[in-house]
Structure 1
Amino acid sequence: MEDVTVAHAPLPVGPPGLDLAERARREQGATPPPAPGAARAEGAGRRAVAEDPDRFRTCFERDLDRIQHSKAFRRLAGKCQVFVAPDDDHLRTRLTHAIEVCQVAVSIARPVGLDTALTAAAATGHDCGHGPAGHASEGALSPFLDGGYHHAVYGADVVLEPLNLCAETLDAIRNHSWNRPAPTTAEGEVVAWADRIAYVCHDFEDAVAAGVVRPGDLPDAVSSVVGRDRRTQLHRFITAMVETIADTGTVALRRPEADALAAFRAFNYERIYLRPEAVRQADRAARLITALTEHHIAHPATIGADGAGLVPGEPATVAAAVRHVSGMTDRYAAAAGVALLGWDEARLPRSA
């Protein structure tokens, strides 16, 4: 495995030389069995609260349905991917990002024989723990929680907890970030790769549309390997992932495309995510989120029904305030800053 890159620890799919479920074979109904390392759906699944199995759906298919129908997933439509509350409706939100991650992940998982329902459920729900204004909320909310605020952990353990999802789905969501421990399933590892592949490609496309960068700015180390447009880039990354998994039997990406992905991500950080204006707006967002959380801790009645009976400053009140603020959309948080904090609109974060 010297010429491939893994996101976490190596997770096996099967022996090298996997039998791929290519399109022509699937059209003829001749698909190979699930890969040896694929997750197995069994009955109602391993859930915190036992349930009866569904007559028609596997446990992972039920998880996907529950996430798609959840309020947490719907709220992603109002949470930014890169640009805070943009005027351009074509720029991505966390919702469209999740949908695109799901497409990439399933396109990798299907031909190598992994469970596509588990893959889709984890990909669809992977960012449900994000607060308003994207990653800026993590730093702002971290001081209020023991161990800090990580969107992947918070999404699995708090936001999606009421859905009673399968242990494998929650694990894949909790550990999709590369700075987290390895997922326990190959499907979860595919989602980790799909997240990174999707966001570097579509964030660059959005930045071009917003006039932040130009198509020709993309380094040759990226464009010479995967091309300059999103469609070509996704196709080449997905194909390389499938071929690498088939060749090695492990969820990994061969060196040329892995190096191109790393260079792509580094370019995006330098030219898009960490450019001075973006940092300024992230700082504004963090100050707003901190101020809103502090306000709700001091005045739990402003949380709404979840704040009834809570005592200002108590641990339960802090937890309720964090949950309330983390669930806000970008526009709701901005409106709350004006209505509750008396902030002038000029202080609010804006698309940068």
Structure 2
Amino acid sequence: MTIRQQLEERERKDLSPFACLSANSKGRRRPVEPCPVRTCFQRDTDRIVHCKAFRRLKHKTQVFLQPEGDHYRTRMTHTLEVARVARTIARGLGLNEDLTEAAAFGHDLGHTPFGHAGERLLNEIMPGGFRHNEQSLRVVDRLENDGEGLNLTYEVRRAILCHSGPELAETLEGRVVRLSDKIAYLSADIDDALRGGIIYPLDIPAHVAQELGDTHSERINTLVMDIITASQGKDDICQSPEKGRAMADLREFMFESVYRNPVAKGEEGKAQEMIRRLFDYYMADLDKLPPEFQEIREGESPERAVCDYIAGMTDAYAVERYLDLFIPKSWTVK
């Protein structure tokens, strides 16, 4: 037996009957020779971690636009936190940790520069709208690897797509990632908002703090343990009614106090105007798009090509392109 086959046999023996086994994957869009060492989901994790879109996450906004200080979350640190929360839940339920990890690492690859502000703007100006979960799937299916995509397994692709939006993933591992994303961003965003002086500890509703805990680690531990306890022996991922309500109330508080806070989000209008002008510029002169987007322009649509290019930008690169295109440079005598 190869190492991969030994790992697949171990999954059959050790994992929950509700787990998605690597050997039972529905496979890839283009068949490939199995790896002798890695299961198909381990291989997907490696493909995602080594791709360009994953590396760009470190320079993309999570909540606060280009904050001063080293300890605020970026889209990369958020992704790592989601992966850790999701793997802990998967381990506690006897699910496939490798599938869970691959989906967690890939779930936000399609996020725009400047976080949800960028997403809202592209959703406004793109025909048919724009949703980052769909763009994440497009990144792994179409944009990465010189247009060939990463050729991931069906289960990982579905978990990436269904981490937000109306659809639920068929696998419990995909549903774990969906809930872990919410746990990670809510608790981390509280941490960042406290650090930035946007909110203070006593602002958090008392009943939420009593139910979930007062600190970042307490909130995550409470929610993770609740999901593991509530989901044991079930073919779904659940929360207890009490913790589910507390988490929903916490989310509502965060929208009122942080996500719509004019101090925290005061620069978002400028970021959106920047993206709008970049979009209009490239639509007016499509030949200025990089070569890899010309095929998309011809084969799909000009709007799709411009959207793919801008959605893939980091915050810093979008600012750099804007400055280069729209801000006069000082003239000096040589």
Normalising TM by the smaller chain, what interval? 0.7 to 0.9
| Shift, 1:307, TM fit | 4.8
What root-mean-square deviation, in Å, do the aligned CA atoms of Structure 1 and Structure 2 show? Answer: 2.3
Distance 1:282 1:209 in 2: 19
**Range with greater deviation from structure 2 (96-105 or 274-283):** 274-283
Q: Which has the higher contact order (CA 8 A, sep 6+)?
A: 1
Are the counterparts in 1 of residues 85 and 224 from structure 2 also a CA contact under 8 Å? yes
Mark the CA change 1:132 to 1:311 in structure 2 (over 3 Å): closer, same or farther. closer
Q: Does residue 1:334 correspond to 2:319, yes or no?
A: yes
Q: Which amino acid is 1:317 matched to?
A: P
Higher helix share: 2
Aligned pair partner of 1:64 in 45, 67, 77: 45
For residues 193-221 of structure 1, the C-alpha deviation after alignment (integer angstroms, 9 at most, x for no partner) is: 00000111000000111111112211112
Are the counterparts in 2 of residues 221 and 263 from structure 1 also a CA contact under 8 Å? no
Q: Does residue 1:168 correspond to 2:155, yes or no?
A: yes
Are the counterparts in 1 of residues 297 and 303 from structure 2 also a CA contact under 8 Å? no
2:246 aligns to what? 260
Q: Does residue 1:76 correspond to 2:57, yes or no?
A: yes
1:299 aligns to what? 285
Secondary structure in structure 2 of the residue aligned to 1:211: coil
User: Could you tell me the TM-score, scaled by structure 1's length?
Assistant: 0.83
Aligned pair partner of 1:108 in 80, 86, 89: 89
| Shift, 1:109, TM fit | 0.5
List alignment gaps of at least 5 residues for structure 2: 1-9, 143-148, 330-334
Distance 2:26 2:180 in 1: 24
User: Could you tell me the TM-score, scaled by structure 2's length?
Assistant: 0.87
For residues 294-314 of structure 1, the C-alpha deviation after alignment (integer angstroms, 9 at most, x for no partner) is: 2112222332222558979x9
Q: Which amino acid is 1:98 matched to?
A: T
The aligned runs of 1:105-184 (5 Å cut-off) are: 105-161=86-142, 162-177=149-164, 179-184=165-170
Distance 1:67 1:324 in 2: 19
Distance 2:155 2:200 in 1: 41
1:274 aligns to what? 260
Q: Does residue 1:207 correspond to 2:193, yes or no?
A: yes
Runs ≥4 residues deviating over 3 A: 143-146, 158-161, 277-280, 307-312
Are the counterparts in 1 of residues 25 and 154 from structure 2 also a CA contact under 8 Å? no
* Amino-acid identity (%): 35
For residues 266-323 of structure 1, the C-alpha deviation after alignment (integer angstroms, 9 at most, x for no partner) is: 11111110112344422222221121112112222332222558979x9533222111
Mark the CA change 1:311 to 1:73 in structure 2 (over 3 Å): closer, same or farther. closer
| Shift, 1:186, TM fit | 0.6
